[in-house]
Amino acid sequence: MTERLDGTVALVTGASSGIGEATARQLAAQGAAVALVARRKERLEKLAAKITASGGTALVLAADVSRQDEAIAVVEQTIKEMGRLDTLVNNAGVMLLGNIQGADTDEWERMIDINLKGLLYASHAALPYLLKAAEDSPRQVSDVINISSVAGRRARMGAGVYNATKFGVVAFTESLRQEVTGRHVRVSVVEPGVVATELTDHMKPEVREQTMKPFAGITPLEPEDIADIIAFIVTRPWRSAINEVLVRPTEQA
Ligand code: NDP
């Protein structure tokens, strides 16, 4: 049984491209009003226009959620403009692969700041409202969806710090789940394999070529494949909590 999301509000971080953009569109198609968060405002505005043109409701919130003040501000602005918060999708992230020896440690900081701290700050700021939504709403439930990765389940050479952030997301998700599931906030983690997005664009070309070699020649997932899974999780009846989804392209070993 699928439940539509009419009357609910979802906040999606990293909504300016890839998985976040597709997820925002899917949740809006299911009836949720969506708060779109990322740093590239013009990309968010284009997405908001598409959602509005399809009859949906969208709010553009340009922010860097690795900064706690900005993570708090986007949650507060969502409540101010949209009145409630039922779904938080912690999707914003970067992947800067490379060996540990001789690494540019600024890249480590960037991954830890957004993949981990951004997710922690957004969750912390949103939690009081998610608890309230679970209590108030006829749906009797609210949701946090954290985007980890296959890299959060299996470490490999050349991905150490990305692995550390994504393993961290899995651990945090399970701890938070235990803390709030009794109060009907479902906390889920989604762990995709290779998805065709802009994620690898931020790496130095030579590093990208080397570290992505194992995935050459496979047909990747599309962002919509992950958005479908997120929409499926959120549209379950309150009694059913999908805690974890690991999804790879069929050809990914
Ligand atoms: P994209 O690069 O297309 O999207 C990343 C998003 O994160 C962008 O919208 C970007 O927006 C946003 N973002 C990055 N830094 C910040 C920040 N400091 N504050 C706010 N937003 C930020 O890649 P994907 O869609 O692939 O990535 C989404 C998530 O999926 C990531 O967590 C990634 O680790 C995970 N993932 C991706 C896989 C893949 O193969 N693509 C596989 C497994 C997991 P902007 O630059 O405008 O701020």
For the chain, domains (ranges, CATH) are: 9-246 (3.40.50.720)
How large is the ipTM?
Answer: 0.99
pLDDT over 80 (residue 161): yes
To test the pocket of ligand 1, the residue of 37, 69, 95, 203 to mutate (highest count of ligand atoms within 8 Å of its CB) is 95
Q: Which atom of ligand 1 sits closest to the CA of residue 19?
A: 25
Q: Which atom of ligand 1 sits closest to the CA of residue 194?
A: 40
**What separation in Å is there between the alpha carbon of 241 and the centre of ligand 1?**
25
Q: Which of 108, 121, 162, 172 is catalytic?
A: 162
Examine the residue annotation and report whether 129 is marked as an active-site residue of this protein. Answer: no
Q: Average pLDDT in the 64-85 region? A: 98
Query: If pLDDT is split at 50, 70 and 90, which confidence band does 159 have?
Result: very high
pLDDT of residue 3: 79
Q: What is the pLDDT of residues 192-231, one digit of tens each?
A: 999 999 999 999 999 899 888 999 999 999 999 999 999 9
Instruction: Output the DSSP codes for the chain.
Output: -----TT-EEEEETTTSHHHHHHHHHHHHTT-EEEEEES-HHHHHHHHHHHHHTT--EEEEE--TTSHHHHHHHHHHHHHHHS---EEEE---------STT--HHHHHHHIIIIIIIHHHHHHHHHHHHHHHHHHSTT--EEEEEE--GGGT---TT-HHHHHHHHHHHHHHHHHHHHHGGGTEEEEEEEE--B-SSGGGGS-HHHHHHHTGGGTT--PBPHHHHHHHHHHHHTS-TT----EEEE--TT--
Q: Does the global pTM surpass 0.95?
A: yes
Portion of the chain with pLDDT greater than 70, in percent: 99
Q: Average pLDDT in the 119-147 region? A: 97
